[in-house]
Structure 1
Amino acid sequence: MSSDAVKRETLERLSGLLAELASNVDLVLVEGPRDLEALRSLGYTGDVTTCSRVGVNDVELAEMVTAENRNILVLTDFDHEGERLSARLSELMEHGGAVVERGLRAELGRIMAVLGIRVVEALDNVRDSLRESH
């Protein structure tokens, strides 16, 4: 399969996964505002909030998020720091009774790896490619 065909197939998987997120996840938790903007640029319309809240620690954030949401996707970057943050927040939220969608995170990570992306905000760069694949 050519690299263009692989990219096109990967973009189609990303589009399908975004639709799946909208129907299966109450909230997507991202690191910062540029990550939120990247998801919106891809057409994701579900609830998204950021981890970067001034004066709120991880425990307080997890409590606030789980008080209002049952199924949560922690979509932090796929670098060392992002993986650590995802693990910490996921554990806190699961302890609070939430279901953390680890499988969807893993699938998004695989898609991003094929696209050569490790940080969520870089998804903004695939917007035009995603539109061209349809």
Structure 2
Amino acid sequence: MSFRRLSRIVEELSSCVEQGMPILIEGKKDEEALRELGINGNIIKVSGSGLKLFEVAEIAAKTSSKVIILTDFDKKGDILAKKLSEDIQSLGSHPDLSIRKNIIKITRRYIKDIESLPKHMKQLELEINPYGNYL
């Protein structure tokens, strides 16, 4: 079931962040969505920081040998993910795109960005348990 698979991915993401791995996201709404999912840690926004992409990659690579890239699932997000991945690798760190790819596999027809993830998960949870905890 999609809800369980997504929940496991969110747990994996949370565990990675607890181990000190930074997450690169696009913007403020993406950060709010991750916080809503209980992911608290080093979340670095690519947009709106005033920094060049390489500088953002540099900051992330300095904090950990592994950096999670979690850009949106549209064309712009794909381009950002590729560029960030190349930059992080050139700095001697390991870019992790696996969580992004797994989320895309599960949600491909339903959402296009990170900010939609909490709402999508709530909808999936309602499909499993439409009456909530009332039974």
Q: Report the TM-score when normalising by structure 1.
A: 0.82
| Contact 1:12 1:130 survives alignment (8 Å) | no
Q: 1:19 to 1:78 in 2, by over 3 A?
A: same
The correspondence for 2:120, drawn from 123, 126, 129, is 126
- Answering whether residue 52 of structure 2 is matched by residue 69 of structure 1, we say no
Name the counterpart of 1:41: 36
CA separation of 1:67/1:88 partners in 2, compared to 1, >3 Å: closer, same or farther? Answer: same
Q: Distance in 2 between matches of 1:20 and 1:14?
A: 10
Deviation digits for residues 99-119 of structure 1 (CA, Å, limit 9, x no counterpart): 1112222111112215x0011
Aligned to 1:10: 2
Report the CA distance between 1:55 and its aligned residue. 2.6
Return the offset for 1:19: 1.1
The gaps in structure 2 that reach 5 residues or longer are: 130-135
Match for residue 112 of structure 1 among 101, 107, 115: 107
Greater relative contact order: 1 or 2 (C-alpha under 8 angstroms, separation 6 or more)?
A: 1
TM-score (norm 2): 0.81
Match of 1:24, as an amino acid? C
Report deviation, 1:127: 4.7
Is 1:82 the counterpart of 2:84? The answer is no
Give the AA of the match of 1:18. V
CA RMSD of aligned residues (A): 1.9
Mapped to 1, the partners of 2:96 and 2:49 lie a distance apart of: 26
Cα distance change of structure 1 residues 129 and 47 upon mapping to structure 2, 3 Å threshold: farther
* CA shift for structure 1 position 130: 5.8
Q: How many residues align?
A: 125
What are structure 1's unaligned runs of at least 5 residues? 1-8
Q: What are the residue-to-residue correspondences of 1:89-100 with 2, within 5 Å?
A: 89-100=84-95
